[in-house]
Structure 1
Amino acid sequence: MKSLAFVLSYLAGPLRRRDRRMVAVLLGTFVVLVVVFAAIFHAVMAQEGQNHSWATAFYWTLVTMTTLGFGDITFTSDLGRIFSVIVLLTGTAFLLILLPFAFIQFVFVPWMNRRDASRAPRSIPASTFGHLVLTRLGPIEDALIRRAKQADVDYVVLVADLTEALRLHDQGYRVMVGSSDVPETHRAARVANAALVSATWPDTTNANIIFTVREISTNVPVVATATKEASVDVLEMAGADQVLRLGQLLGRAMADRTLLPDGRTHVIGQFAGVLIAEARVAGSTLLGQRIADVGLRKRLGVTVIGVWDKGVFAIAVPDTELTATSVLILSASQDQLDAYDRCYGTGSDLQGSVVIIGAGRVGRAAAESFDEADIPYRIIDQQPDRIRNDKYVLGDAADIAVLEAAGIQSATGVLITAHDDDVNIYLAIYCRRLRPDLRIVARANLDRNVSTLYRAGADDVLSYASTGAAAMWNEFRGNDTLVVAEGLDVFRAPVPKPMRGKTLAASGLRSKTGCNVVAIERDGQLVGNPGADVVLRADTSLVLIGDDAARDRLANLDDGWRAILNNRLASLPD
């Protein structure tokens, strides 16, 4: 029905001047032919002694031109039959060739162009505000778009090619046709009203895009990626507010997962003055215990707000059993985290060497972290031009001889950093079979392969796309959201109306939503790890942690709450 309405609206709309002239000529020619043939019909019939009305003449002309047949009105003379053939051929040429051509040329093709233009416009509405402008579509943008959809934030992807734009539109993306290095494109994308512009092209292209955006707006936040260290200063001079070296971020994060195997805490972020840390159960004295038996909050003031287990997050409950694959998510002050380390950390540093598979940007960044920590390592790579010193091993990591030359049999851990997920899955399976006790940290380039890598044997999986999207999202949301991991956020929100006046325990916030309270803010004062007897007042702001589903359940508790959670309102409700 929508397509039919679109066609009718197009046909009812004004044609271009050239199209109107051509349609008028064709229709006029058709009318003249019908009148002329009807007059000749009268003359030939009179010569044969037959008498017919003008209505009959027009009827005969139309049924003959449309090849419907003659019926009982026929000529008896050769002249009449020759005339019938002429009318028949003229009608065939006109109705079966010229009119269909005219329809296709002046109706169908323009309609298709208008339909394509509506699917892939060259501008977005002027009322669009607070949206994300993405200058390309890749794995990072895909992860960022998922976050934007979950938060009800508008976005637009700039695509230079119309065919590609239509393909992406059909896949469900909101696209706009235009080159990202053209000022008019950014004006049409309402970049002056945007909340964020991302540039993830090669460094030189990013510089062009940033400079073009700054021609339109000097205030819109611009986040760019850089592959070279030298490009950071150039992109900042071009006008970027934040430049991300994702290879560096991911490599160091992977190294961190290897450097702390002994149960000590590792701070992953700070939000509203509260530290958010992770601590691995393996290597600590917590292994095999339940959270209720440990009593971390009572003894140390440390709150266990959740547990990661092979990429799956669960809110911590008293009966949660801590296994070798569990990773605790904690909220506490620095003093409290230090006390935790003294109680549950083994105090031992990483023993043995580490094998890094892949000497690209991610692998080299991990190696820098190991150098700083004085941890021995070997890097395997197949490309001779990447071999820099005796710590590098040239060869295929799928070859057992190469792995043994790198010290796989005595290594404590292995980092799999290839940019191909198929290769990473393959190597994770292989390394796990060779060393069941080996600690494996793997890179995932696409989020959909994270769970597969865990099943393949990886102990930790870090997503390149999620790392970039999280960094950009933190820049976009400022102090309102901290991305802990893919799908897991710490965020600020008001107390829902149904829970106001109740204590934290009576509100059932955790059981109803799946969100855990990290802290509360009242009268400008922040109280970390609030007790169950704290009363939730209307002027209280909550600092919560939860996954996407928990955040959606929280938003559905109160009318208008989703807008507040998504930072659409500047203040809390009365």
Structure 2
Amino acid sequence: MWGLRKLKSRVLRFLLGLALLASAYCLVFMALMMWEGNYQEATPITAVYWVVCTMTTVGYGDVVFKSAEGRIFSTLVVLSGVAIFFAVALPIIVTPWVERLEQTMPSKAPNDMRDHVMICGYSPVVETLIEKLDRLRIPFLVVEQRWDVARRIRQKYPLVYGDPSERQVLENSHIHSCQLIILNYNDEANADILLTVREMSNKEVIVMVEDLSRSRFLSYAGASRVISPKTLLGTFLAQITSPPREGVFPGSVQLFGNLLLVELPVFPGSPLAKESLNDPRISASGARVVGLWQRGRFCPRPRPDEQIRKNSVLLAVGDSEQLSRLRKETISLPAQGKLLVIGYGDVGRRVVRVLCDWGIDPVVVDRRDIEQPGFSFILGDGTDEELLEKAGIKDAVGVLIMLNHDPDVIYSTLIARNLNPEAFIVARANQAPSATKIYRAGADYVASVPLVASHMLFKMIQGLGEELTILFEGRELIKLEVGRSSPIAGQSLHEADLFGRFRTTVLAIDRQGEVISQVDGRTMIYPGDILAVTGNQASLESLTRWLRQGRLSKIRHGDMRITVPTRPDLKD
């Protein structure tokens, strides 16, 4: 077990250090004995005997120093022996063993656990995924071999402590009755686990990797699907900051037929900047704006006179042609200026590759030297103000901050916003809680790696594929089929007042194959209608509970449950 190996490593390091210290004491002992003229006692065997007796405070007294220097040395050896036991040996060796005896880890799943999702390896990604599974009451089991991690989560989640590459651990986790298996360790450990799984079962296995270039080896080992959230995230971030391509809407969500829900950033210089939502160019596009992100605050049903600020994000519904017309109004005309990518790690590398494939030459800043990069590159720290000025941040249209450590992301965002108030800043959050601080630092769009990864896994568990569809955290989408006895059947949207009662918004209606995208308060609701409704988790749960009491026919969670980049609710 990983915890046992760690304990053994501690013991070995402790014993090695103790041996080195004892050897030094032996040398000093022999030197002092010879200095006193007691050559008979100045032997290695006597030295070892004296050091052991003195450090363990046995003190037989048959070998003693006569000089003051020797007695001072004896005192130091005794004190060091006591200190080593209480300050080193006790917390490093004794305490962990006692804790292991006191805390017996679960080694087997409950007997009645069936159709569960088996997750091998806990991480922030898994924590976010578990929240989604728990909301829909999908059973899950975490298999964890690291003692410290298992001890931390044993009271929170169903857990089996053990090495998932061992057959008995997989048997104890009910591998034969699980729904699917997710592997979330490093590539080498995942391959080891995967081979054991394939000896026992043909269940679907989803493997998470850092780099998709290594995915073929895991496929050879028997992986059903191999996903790289960082690769997909990098592609998505490159798409939303680069010049738009006709008919391509990154992260779009299909509602009904060809009706899409998309996010459209309003870039500096856009004709819509400083205009209101009742601007005739918006209505002329045919698309409908159903939400608005401004200054980090989401408005689920913005007023027609709401002003659109630069670097806002419009949430719009329409078909491809309508949304293309609206998007033309959200970009700067002409769109000039460079794209600056700060950080060339896993996500940053993917961002740059996608931009270069589209003929865009970004300026990349990274502290690691890159040989023959094929793009503009500046070596240095992405949190260095002078370096960023040298890279041309003041003239950049967009800045993508892809650093690996959130404190660096926050600081770099502060610098970027200060040097270029007009730029559209996209940042990567490596931990979900950091997203709020990054927004406050001045980012216009933040994508959290754990949220993206958990969202992808959740869709795959529901059988919805692995395409990356993006909506901000806290905004979810469900589809409701209205039954004959539903309390909203035969009412208009104004009469149903779903927004006033539950803070939910109807985006569109599918009426026996006819898609109604332009909905307002006068739109009627009839039995058999399928409503696409968005809201936060609490509001949607309140709505579905109320509708179930009225015998609503179906609530289709499987069509989409969306979360991903976080937008904190900031004050103006």
Alignment of 1:383-462 (within 5 A): 383-384=368-369, 388=373, 391-462=376-447
**2:455 aligned residue:** 470
Deviation track 1:527-569 (CA, whole Å, cap 9, x = no partner) reads 4444544443443332222222322222332447999657599
**1:101 aligned residue:** none
Residue 260 and residue 562 in structure 1: after superposition, are their counterparts in 2 closer, same or farther (change >3 A)?
A: farther
**1:131 aligned residue:** 116
Paired amino acid for 1:160 = Q
CA shift for structure 1 position 313 = 3.0
Task: Work out whether residues 478 and 556 of structure 2, in 8 Å CA contact, stay in contact via their aligned partners in 1.
Answer: no
Measure, in 1, the Cα distance between the counterparts of 2:423 and 2:134.
38
**2:240 aligned residue:** 257
Residue 482 and residue 437 in structure 1: after superposition, are their counterparts in 2 closer, same or farther (change >3 A)?
A: closer
Paired amino acid for 1:549 = A
Residue 390 and residue 558 in structure 1: after superposition, are their counterparts in 2 closer, same or farther (change >3 A)?
A: closer
Measure, in 2, the Cα distance between the counterparts of 1:147 and 1:292.
37
Task: Work out whether residues 263 and 280 of structure 1, in 8 Å CA contact, stay in contact via their aligned partners in 2.
Answer: no
**2:492 aligned residue:** 503
Residue 398 and residue 511 in structure 1: after superposition, are their counterparts in 2 closer, same or farther (change >3 A)?
A: same
Task: Work out whether residues 132 and 196 of structure 1, in 8 Å CA contact, stay in contact via their aligned partners in 2.
Answer: yes
SS across alignment from 1:556: helix
Indicate whether 1:552 and 2:541 are aligned.
Answer: yes
Paired amino acid for 1:256 = Q
Candidates 127, 141, 152, aligned match of 1:167: 152
**1:330 aligned residue:** 316
Task: Work out whether residues 340 and 364 of structure 2, in 8 Å CA contact, stay in contact via their aligned partners in 1.
Answer: yes
Measure, in 2, the Cα distance between the counterparts of 1:163 and 1:475.
29
Residue 528 and residue 216 in structure 1: after superposition, are their counterparts in 2 closer, same or farther (change >3 A)?
A: farther
Alignment of 1:20-419 (within 5 A): 116-117=103-104, 120-170=105-155, 172-220=156-204, 222-260=205-243, 266-271=249-254, 272-273=256-257, 274-282=259-267, 283-292=269-278, 294=280, 296=282, 299-319=284-304, 320-341=306-327, 344-346=329-331, 348=333, 350-384=335-369, 388=373, 391-419=376-404
SS across alignment from 1:418: coil
Task: Work out whether residues 381 and 387 of structure 1, in 8 Å CA contact, stay in contact via their aligned partners in 2.
Answer: no
* Structure with greater Cα Rg: 1
Residue 229 and residue 250 in structure 1: after superposition, are their counterparts in 2 closer, same or farther (change >3 A)?
A: same
Paired amino acid for 1:461 = V
Deviation track 1:357-381 (CA, whole Å, cap 9, x = no partner) reads 1111211111112212322222222
SS across alignment from 2:436: helix
CA shift for structure 1 position 211 = 3.7
CA shift for structure 1 position 409 = 3.3
- Greater mean alpha carbon deviation, residues 412-421 or residues 189-198: 189-198
CA shift for structure 1 position 275 = 1.4
CA shift for structure 1 position 453 = 0.3
Measure, in 2, the Cα distance between the counterparts of 1:517 and 1:314.
14
Paired amino acid for 1:234 = F
Paired amino acid for 1:340 = L
Deviation track 1:306-332 (CA, whole Å, cap 9, x = no partner) reads 222355433123354322242111121
Task: Work out whether residues 265 and 278 of structure 1, in 8 Å CA contact, stay in contact via their aligned partners in 2.
Answer: no
Measure, in 2, the Cα distance between the counterparts of 1:528 and 1:211.
49
Deviation track 1:437-471 (CA, whole Å, cap 9, x = no partner) reads 33321110011010100111112211111111111
**1:65 aligned residue:** none
SS across alignment from 1:240: coil
**1:492 aligned residue:** 479
Paired amino acid for 1:361 = D
Paired amino acid for 1:539 = G
Indicate whether 1:521 and 2:510 are aligned.
Answer: yes
Task: Work out whether residues 429 and 456 of structure 1, in 8 Å CA contact, stay in contact via their aligned partners in 2.
Answer: yes
SS across alignment from 1:499: coil
CA shift for structure 1 position 406 = 2.3
Task: Work out whether residues 270 and 310 of structure 2, in 8 Å CA contact, stay in contact via their aligned partners in 1.
Answer: no
Task: Work out whether residues 300 and 505 of structure 2, in 8 Å CA contact, stay in contact via their aligned partners in 1.
Answer: yes
Measure, in 1, the Cα distance between the counterparts of 2:243 and 2:175.
43
Residue 566 and residue 520 in structure 1: after superposition, are their counterparts in 2 closer, same or farther (change >3 A)?
A: closer
Measure, in 1, the Cα distance between the counterparts of 2:394 and 2:247.
26
Paired amino acid for 2:529 = T
Measure, in 2, the Cα distance between the counterparts of 1:382 and 1:255.
21
Task: Work out whether residues 212 and 227 of structure 2, in 8 Å CA contact, stay in contact via their aligned partners in 1.
Answer: no
Deviation track 1:388-416 (CA, whole Å, cap 9, x = no partner) reads 45622222223344323322233222221
Paired amino acid for 2:411 = Y
Measure, in 2, the Cα distance between the counterparts of 1:195 and 1:313.
36
Measure, in 2, the Cα distance between the counterparts of 1:390 and 1:519.
44
Deviation track 1:68-111 (CA, whole Å, cap 9, x = no partner) reads xxxxxxxxxxxxxxxxxxxxxxxxxxxxxxxxxxxxxxxxxxxx
Deviation track 1:54-76 (CA, whole Å, cap 9, x = no partner) reads xxxxxxxxxxxxxxxxxxxxxxx
- Greater mean alpha carbon deviation, residues 377-386 or residues 364-373: 377-386
Deviation track 1:508-530 (CA, whole Å, cap 9, x = no partner) reads 12222222223333445554444
Measure, in 2, the Cα distance between the counterparts of 1:386 and 1:421.
27
Deviation track 1:252-298 (CA, whole Å, cap 9, x = no partner) reads 222223225999983422324331211123443333344345584x6
Misfit runs of 4+, over 6 Å: 112-115, 261-265, 560-564
SS across alignment from 1:510: helix
Residue 193 and residue 334 in structure 1: after superposition, are their counterparts in 2 closer, same or farther (change >3 A)?
A: farther
What is the number of equivalent residue pairs in this alignment?
A: 453
Task: Work out whether residues 387 and 394 of structure 1, in 8 Å CA contact, stay in contact via their aligned partners in 2.
Answer: no
Paired amino acid for 1:153 = I
Task: Work out whether residues 473 and 483 of structure 1, in 8 Å CA contact, stay in contact via their aligned partners in 2.
Answer: no
Residue 543 and residue 214 in structure 1: after superposition, are their counterparts in 2 closer, same or farther (change >3 A)?
A: farther
Deviation track 1:475-499 (CA, whole Å, cap 9, x = no partner) reads 1223499652333233223337322
- Which is richer in helix? 1
Measure, in 2, the Cα distance between the counterparts of 1:310 and 1:209.
46
User: Identical aligned pairs, as a percentage?
Assistant: 25
Normalised to the residue count of structure 1, the TM-score between the two structures is 0.70
Residue 299 and residue 392 in structure 1: after superposition, are their counterparts in 2 closer, same or farther (change >3 A)?
A: closer
Residue 294 and residue 193 in structure 1: after superposition, are their counterparts in 2 closer, same or farther (change >3 A)?
A: farther
Q: Which runs of 5+ in 2 are unaligned?
A: 1-98, 560-572
CA shift for structure 1 position 229 = 3.3
Cα RMSD, aligned residues only: 3.5
Task: Work out whether residues 518 and 530 of structure 1, in 8 Å CA contact, stay in contact via their aligned partners in 2.
Answer: yes
Normalised to the residue count of structure 2, the TM-score between the two structures is 0.70
Measure, in 2, the Cα distance between the counterparts of 1:195 and 1:160.
21
Task: Work out whether residues 264 and 330 of structure 2, in 8 Å CA contact, stay in contact via their aligned partners in 1.
Answer: no
